[in-house]
C-alpha cells in the first residue's frame, strides 16, 4: 500500500513564557498508508494533539534543532511550506473534525459545508451539489437549513464530518471526534468514519482517549512524552512490515494508558 503521509524528525517546542518551554514532540517518525484508519492514542501531554496539528499542517514542525524535519504528503515534503501554501493544502487535501464540532454558529449546516467548498475554490452549483451530497452521506439531507444551535451534538458532529468530506480530501484528521458525545452517538460517528474508510478508501487519522475508538481502527499508534512508543500493527499486515520504533516496546504504554486497547 502506498504511503500517503510520512513524518520524520518531527519536533515541536512551545514557549509558554520567557523561561518556560515545553517540548511537546521530541523527534517523531510516523507513516500512514493510503486508505488506513489510524488512531493516535496517549495520555494527556503525550504530544498526540501536537502531532495531529503538525500532520494537519496547522503548525509547522520546528526547523532549527536536530536533523531537518520532513513531512511528506503523497511524497512531497510540506514541512517548510509558507502559511499560504499550507492553508491551501488544508483547504483542498485535508478534512478536519474536532471535539467541539466547531461549526460556525451563524451559518446553517449547509452553509458550513459550503464554506469548505468555498475555501477549496469550488463555488456555485458544483459546490451546492457536493455539499448536499455530503450532508446526505452523513444522513442529514433534510437538516441542511438548520443552524448548529438547532441540531443535537451528534448531528453537529455529522455536519462537521460532512464539511470534512465535501472536498473528497486525501486525509481526514479527527481530534477527539467522540469526546463530547454519549456512547450511542459516538458509535454512530465512528460507524460513519468506518463506512467512508471501507467504501471510499478514505484515509482517516483520529486522535482519541477512547479505547473503543482505538479498537475500531486498523491500527493504534501510542504516544508518551512526546515520542511514539508503539507504532502499532496494521491489520492484515505482517509484523515485519511495521514501522521501526526507536523505543523499546513492552513496559511502555500500559501503565499510563490502561484503557488503551492492545493490538
Partner 1 sequence: MRLVRDLGRRKLRSTLTITGIMIGIMALVVFGSMANKIDALVKGGSTYYKDKVTVSAKGGYMGVGGVLSTRMADQIAALDGVDVVVASTSMMLSDDASGVSMGVPPMIQGSVAGSDKGRETFKLDYASGRALTAQDEGSNVVVLGSDLSKQLKAKVGATVTLRDVSFQVVGILEPTLTAPDNEAMVPMAAAQQLFIKTLPTLVADKLSVNEIATGLIVYPKTGVDPQKIADAINAAVAGVTPMTGKDFDKQIGAATSVLNAILIGIGLISLLVGGLSVINTMAMSVAERTREIGIKRAIGASRWRIRREIVVESSVIGLIGGLLGLALGFLITTLGNDAGRDSATILFDLTFGTAFSSVAFATILGATAGFIPAWHASRLDPVAALRYE
The residue ranges that bind partner 1 (CB under 8 A) are: 53, 56, 58-59, 83-84, 87-88, 90-92, 94-96, 98, 102-107, 111, 115-116, 119-120, 163-164
> What is the nearest approach in angstroms of partner 1 to the Cβ of residue 5?
17
Spacing of C-alpha 155 from chain mean position: 19
Q: CA-to-CA distance for 159 and 153, rounded, in angstroms?
A: 10
> What is the nearest approach in angstroms of partner 1 to the Cβ of residue 240?
37
Task: Name the residue nearer to partner 1 (CB basis): 28 or 89.
Answer: 89
> What is the nearest approach in angstroms of partner 1 to the Cβ of residue 249?
31
Task: Name the residue nearer to partner 1 (CB basis): 205 or 231.
Answer: 205
Q: CA-to-CA distance for 37 and 67, rounded, in angstroms?
A: 29
Residue 140 φ/ψ region, left for φ over 0, alpha for ψ in the -120 to 50 degree band, beta for the rest: alpha
3-state secondary structure of 92: helix
Q: CA-to-CA distance for 226 and 217, rounded, in angstroms?
A: 22
Q: Report phi then psi at 163, rounded to 5.
A: -65, -40
Q: CA-to-CA distance for 198 and 11, rounded, in angstroms?
A: 32
Task: Name the residue nearer to partner 1 (CB basis): 34 or 147.
Answer: 147
Task: Name the residue nearer to partner 1 (CB basis): 20 or 84.
Answer: 84
The DSSP symbol for 210 reads -
Task: Name the residue nearer to partner 1 (CB basis): 189 or 260.
Answer: 189
> What is the nearest approach in angstroms of partner 1 to the Cβ of residue 85?
10
CB 131 within 8 A of CB 81: no
> What is the nearest approach in angstroms of partner 1 to the Cβ of residue 68?
22
Amino acid at each position: 500500500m502506498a504511503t500517503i503521509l510520512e513524518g520524520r524528525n518531527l519536533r515541536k517546542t512551545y514557549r509558554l513564557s520567557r523561561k518556560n518551554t515545553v517540548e511537546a514532540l521530541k523527534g517523531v517518525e510516523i507513516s500512514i498508508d493510503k486508505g488506513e484508519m489510524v488512531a493516535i492514542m496517549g495520555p494527556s501531554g503525550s504530544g498526540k494533539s501536537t502531532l495531529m496539528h503538525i500532520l494537519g499542517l496547522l503548525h509547522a514542525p520546528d526547523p532549527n534543532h536536530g536533523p531537518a524535519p520532513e513531512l511528506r504528503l503523497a511524497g512531497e515534503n510540506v514541512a517548510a511550506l509558507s502559511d499560504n501554501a499550507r492553508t491551501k493544502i488544508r483547504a483542498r487535501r485535508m478534512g478536519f473534525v474536532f471535539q467541539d464540532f466547531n461549526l460556525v454558529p451563524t451559518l446553517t449546516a449547509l452553509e458550513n459545508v459550503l464554506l469548505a467548498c468555498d475555501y477549496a475554490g469550488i463555488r456555485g452549483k458544483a459546490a451546492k451539489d457536493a455539499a448536499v451530497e455530503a450532508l446526505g452521506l452523513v444522513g442529514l439531507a433534510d437538516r441542511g437549513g438548520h443552524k448548529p444551535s438547532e441540531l443535537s451534538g451528534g448531528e453537529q458532529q455529522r455536519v462537521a464530518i460532512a464539511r470534512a468530506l465535501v472536498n473528497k480530501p486525501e486525509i481526514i484528521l479527527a481530534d477527539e471526534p467522540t469526546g463530547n458525545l454519549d456512547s450511542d452517538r459516538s458509535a454512530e460517528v465512528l460507524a460513519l468514519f468506518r463506512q467512508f474508510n471501507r467504501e471510499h478508501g478514505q484515509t482517516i487519522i483520529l486522535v482519541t482517549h477512547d479505547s473503543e475508538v482505538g479498537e475500531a481502527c486498523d491500527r493504534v499508534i501510542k504516544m508518551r512524552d512526546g515520542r511514539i512508543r508503539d507504532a502499532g500493527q496494521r491489520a492484515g499486515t505482517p509484523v515485519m512490515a511495521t514501522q521501526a520504533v526507536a523505543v523499546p516496546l513492552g513496559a511502555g504504554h500500559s501503565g499510563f494508558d490502561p484503557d488503551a486497547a492492545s493490538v
